[in-house]
């Protein structure tokens, strides 16, 4: 779970507050895991699903609700609970035994967070998994943790893994990190939080920010060249998003990049989903339709909805995964598919793409 040193601390066992925008992120993670297993276990003869879950910015495992003050599960327990729930739901409809053989790796650089997380796991229903080595907890910064983590996971084309990179800010987890994961595990999926509001707010044409952007993996020369032409902060923010997303797509090993945002009370962040599988990409899109009150996309409806370019500057409204967005999607697809089919002429053959 992403955390700020100023706002989040698990020192002395005190639980930090979980804001609504963070709760939405946790809800999407949970719902995605549930939908993921419903998809990969669709064939009833599959008795076992081996998989790895990696939470590289895990925090202390629990928070305090901003609305009620009650304890709220952080991302490690969201993963653990969602896997347990998925296993029960699928097994209930099977005549033979079924299990999800999951290994969990949780890491954080904050020793107080790791102390709280370890204590909570040991006191939970998942203690046996921890004792058997199915839950591994590291007090390690991400740069050191990732190679260690990947060394524990067999590098096979069939190995399933979900990485949750819920970093604080925007350049602790970078394009190179994601490519390292995907080169080692082509079937891995990455859910990658990037605080675009922080990035846009503090972006300045100086050496410090250029170095930060270079570390992330992008070149901002064109953006700073065009910045004086923009009269509003919102256009500067959109230009940065365009530059970042264009270069993420060009440099990242993932075939599918879903550039959707979570926004609440004016604060937003990217929750990028990286995958090499169209079905996984579709499942994540479904999560944003489900959480339409807080999900948005600065792109267009239709076949090109995952694109982002300067034409987006002139959009009358954002794509908010609501009724209007659904209607716009149907209308755009009707027009675009008719045009596409017509352009193929006699080249269409049954069963051939």
Question: Which region among 53-67, 265-279, 338-352 has the lowest average model confidence (pLDDT)?
Answer: 338-352
Task: Check whether 243 has a pLDDT greater than 90.
Answer: no
Is residue 126 included in any domain, yes or no?
Answer: yes
Instruction: Give the residue with greater pLDDT, 261 vs 172.
Output: 172
Question: Above 90 in pLDDT, residue 11?
Answer: no
Q: Higher confidence at residue 52 or residue 323?
A: 52
Alpha helices in 41-123 (DSSP H): 75-91, 111-122
Distance, CA of 41 to CA of 48 (rounded, Å): 9
| Residue 195 is assigned to a structural domain of this protein | yes
> What was the pLDDT predicted at 2?
44
**Region for residue 12 given its phi and psi (left: phi exceeds 0; alpha: psi -120 to 50; beta: otherwise):** left
Q: Give the C-alpha separation, 71 to 63, whole Å.
A: 6
Please give the pLDDT value at position 297. 56
Residue 214 has pLDDT above 60, yes or no: yes
Residue 278 φ then ψ, to 5°: -65, -35
How many other C-beta atoms can be found within 10 angstroms of the C-beta atom of residue 103? 17
* Gyration radius from the chain CA atoms: 21
Backbone angles phi, psi at 49, to 5 degrees: -120, 105
Average the pLDDT over each of 124-133, 142-151, 278-287, 338-347 and give the range with the smallest value.
338-347
pLDDT digits (tens, 9 = 90+) for 19-50: 888 888 999 999 999 999 999 998 888 999 99
214-219 long-range contacts (CB < 8 A, ≥24 apart) are: 215/171, 215/174, 216/170, 216/171, 216/174, 216/175, 216/244, 217/174, 217/175, 217/176, 217/247, 217/248, 217/251, 218/175, 218/243, 218/244, 218/247, 218/248, 219/247
Within a domain: 114: yes
For the chain, the average pLDDT equals: 83
Q: According to the model, what pLDDT value does residue 304 have? A: 58
pLDDT band at 123, cuts 50/70/90? very high
The phi and psi torsions of 131 (rounded to 5 degrees) equal: -65, -30
pLDDT exceeds 80 at position 165: yes
Q: Can you give the residue range of the structural domain that contains 280?
A: 11-347
Q: Is residue 3 part of a domain?
A: no
pLDDT grade for 3, boundaries at 50, 70 and 90: very low
CATH number at residue 188: 3.40.50.150
Q: What is the pLDDT of residue 22?
A: 87
| Beta-carbon-side half-sphere exposure of residue 132 (alpha carbons within 13 Å) | 9
How many structural domains does the chain have? 1
Q: Is residue 2 part of a domain?
A: no
pLDDT at 260: 76
Q: What is the mean pLDDT of residues 62-85?
A: 95
* 5 domain-assigned: no
Confidence of residue 318 (pLDDT cuts 50, 70, 90): low
Beta bridge partners of 189: 162
């Amino acid at each position: 779970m992403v955390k700020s040193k100023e706002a989040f601390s698990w020192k002395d066992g005190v639980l930090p507050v979980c804001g609504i925008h963070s709760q939405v992120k946790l809800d999407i993670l949970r719902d995605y895991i549930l939908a993921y297993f419903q998809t990969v276990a669709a064939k009833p003869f599959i008795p076992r699903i081996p998989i790895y879950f990696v939470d590289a910015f895990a925090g202390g495992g629990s928070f305090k609700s901003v609305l009620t003050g009650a304890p709220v599960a952080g991302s490690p327990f969201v993963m653990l609970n969602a896997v347990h729930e998925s296993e029960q739901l699928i097994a209930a409809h099977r005549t033979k035994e079924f299990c999800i053989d999951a290994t969990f790796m949780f890491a954080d650089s904050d020793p107080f967070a790791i102390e709280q997380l370890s204590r909570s796991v040991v006191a939970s229903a998942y203690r046996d998994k921890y004792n058997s080595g199915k839950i591994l907890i590291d007090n390690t910064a991400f740069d050191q943790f990732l190679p260690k983590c990947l060394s524990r996971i067999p590098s096979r084309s069939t190995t399933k893994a979900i990485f949750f990179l819920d970093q604080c800010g925007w350049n602790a987890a970078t394009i190179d990190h994601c490519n390292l994961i995907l080169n080692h595990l082509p079937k891995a999926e990455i859910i990658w939080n990037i605080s675009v509001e922080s990035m846009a707010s503090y972006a300045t044409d100086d050496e410090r920010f250029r170095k930060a952007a270079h570390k992330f993996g992008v070149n901002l020369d064109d953006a700073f060249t065009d910045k004086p032409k923009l009269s509003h902060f919102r256009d500067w923010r959109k230009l940065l998003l365009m530059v970042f997303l264009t270069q993420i797509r060009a440099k990242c090993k993932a075939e599918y990049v879903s550039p959707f945002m979570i926004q609440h009370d004016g604060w937003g962040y990217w929750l990028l989903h990286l995958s090499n599988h169209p079905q996984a990409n579709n499942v994540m899109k479904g999560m944003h339709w489900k959480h339409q009150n807080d999900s948005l996309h600065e792109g267009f409806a239709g076949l090109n909805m995952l694109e982002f370019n300067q034409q987006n500057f002139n959009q009358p409204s954002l794509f908010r995964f609501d009724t209007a967005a659904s209607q716009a999607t149907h209308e755009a697809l009707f027009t675009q598919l008719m045009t596409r089919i017509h352009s193929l002429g006699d080249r269409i053959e049954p069963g051939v793409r």
